[in-house]
């Protein structure tokens, strides 16, 4: 399709790119002939939480790795604000604000929570020529560090070394240090993995709270969490998007039900076989 540059069309285009922050077009990845991600089209719109779900091995992490440029696609394109970024490095992408939690947010275990946050809030603004900050801007950074400390409810732990924090709080700190870099899109791969029930609820509430002014793409297995906070859901199966919409919409979709029931039945079968083998 060719676009002629009529004023109306250019207005439409700018309205569209304002809405869509990150986009995948025909994104495909094969590993030695095995197609793990197959012509995926995905639009991450500004604001709120977009969840990517699907049974084990559906290709969720691979999509994530492609979107954050951890691995190169076999074909297809990735666009950020309408601009093709398919060939950019993971670092360049992070600088443009496409940030994966635990990517540049690695916390320093021997430093306290507040020290970690102070370092994180300097990241977006410090360029090589601006290492020495005025005392006014340092005061501003201090304020921002405290803002994130409160946002993730870690005030009580401000002086505790990051490495000493309970696991759930460590996750909260990692979220805070990622948030502090002011990402345009924040990508979370299974943020509740390995957490106990109470910690899951806590992290869920935190993500919900900060997503109000942010854009989040998350891969998550915990359906209760997805149902509670995702604004939009894309369902992957065998590397393809099979459904998209709200939780109510996708959970009623027969293909989605089949995908989940099918994978559940497969798991149960495998378990039965294992038990059968033991007997
Ligand atoms: N580096 C790789 N080399 C070969 N095959 C791979 C590689 N990475 C992923 N795969 C395969 O691609 C498919 C999709 O894997 P992926 O990890 O993206 O799935 P997933 O949806 O994240 O699964 P899970 O829910 O278990 O985390 C799987 O069949 C997996 O074995
Ligand atoms: Mg995965």
Q: In this structure, are 113 and 72 located in the same domain?
A: no
Q: How far is the CA of 174 from the centre of ligand 1 (A)?
A: 25
Range of the domain at 222: 17-100+185-193+213-263
Total domain count for the chain?
2
- Residues 85, 128, single domain; the answer is no
| Residue located nearest, by CA, to atom 23 of ligand 1 | 57
If the chain, 279 residues long, is cut into consecutive pieces of 10 residues, what is the mean pLDDT of each piece?
38 52 97 97 94 94 93 96 92 86 72 93 58 62 91 94 92 89 89 88 90 90 91 96 95 91 66 62
pLDDT, position 110: 94
Question: Of 156, 180, 204, which residue sits at a domain end?
Answer: 180
Q: Are 78 and 147 within one domain? A: no
Which residue minimizes the CA distance to atom 11 of ligand 1? 36
How confident is the model at residue 82, as a pLDDT? 92
**Which residue has a Cα nearest atom 8 of ligand 1?**
62
Q: Is the CB of 61 under 6 A from ligand 1?
A: yes
Q: Are residues 144 and 94 in the same domain?
A: no
Determine the atom of ligand 1 nearest the C-alpha atom of 190.
27
Closest C-alpha residue for ligand 1 atom 14: 59
pLDDT, position 241: 97
**Cβ 62 under 6 angstroms from ligand 1:** yes
pLDDT of residue 261: 76
Model-level pTM greater than 0.75?
yes
Residue 272: how many other CB atoms lie within 10 Å: 10
If we measure between CA atoms, which residue out of 221, 210, 219 comes closest to residue 181? Answer: 210
Do the domain assignments include residue 12?
A: no
Q: Is the CB of 60 under 6 A from ligand 1?
A: yes
pLDDT of residue 263: 65
Q: Are residues 131 and 95 in the same domain?
A: no
Q: Which atom of ligand 1 is nearest to the CA of 34?
A: 5
* CATH number, domain containing residue 257: 3.40.50.300
pLDDT of amino acid 161: 96
Q: Residue 189: its pLDDT value, please?
A: 86
């Amino acid at each position: 399709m060719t676009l002629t540059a009529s004023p109306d069309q250019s207005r439409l285009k700018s309205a569209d790119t304002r809405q869509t922050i990150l986009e995948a077009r025909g994104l495909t990845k094969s590993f030695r002939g095995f197609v793990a991600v197959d012509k995926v089209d995905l639009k991450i719109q500004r604001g709120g939480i977009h969840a990517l779900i699907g049974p084990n091995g559906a290709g969720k992490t691979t999509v994530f790795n492609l979107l954050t440029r951890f691995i190169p696609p076999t074909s297809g394109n990735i666009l950020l604000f309408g601009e093709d970024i398919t060939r950019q490095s993971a670092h360049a992408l992070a600088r443009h604000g496409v940030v994966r939690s635990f990517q540049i947010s690695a916390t320093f275990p021997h430093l306290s929570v507040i020290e970690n946050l102070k370092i994180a809030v300097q990241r977006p603004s410090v360029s090589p020529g601006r290492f020495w900050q005025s005392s006014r801007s340092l005061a501003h950074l201090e304020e921002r560090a405290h803002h994130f400390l409160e946002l993730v409810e870690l005030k009580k732990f401000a002086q505790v070394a990051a490495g000493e924090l309970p696991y759930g709080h460590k996750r909260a700190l990692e979220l805070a240090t990622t948030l502090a870099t002011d990402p345009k899109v924040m990508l979370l791969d299974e943020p509740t993995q390995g957490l106990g029930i109470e910690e899951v609820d806590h992290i869920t509430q935190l993500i919900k709270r900060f997503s109000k002014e942010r854009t989040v793409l998350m891969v998550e297995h915990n359906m209760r969490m997805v149902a509670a906070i995702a604004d939009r859901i894309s369902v992957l199966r065998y590397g393809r998007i099979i459904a998209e919409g709200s939780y109510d919409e996708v959970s009623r979709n027969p293909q989605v039900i089949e995908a989940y029931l099918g994978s559940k039945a497969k798991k149960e079968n495998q378990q039965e076989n294992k038990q059968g083998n033991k007997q």
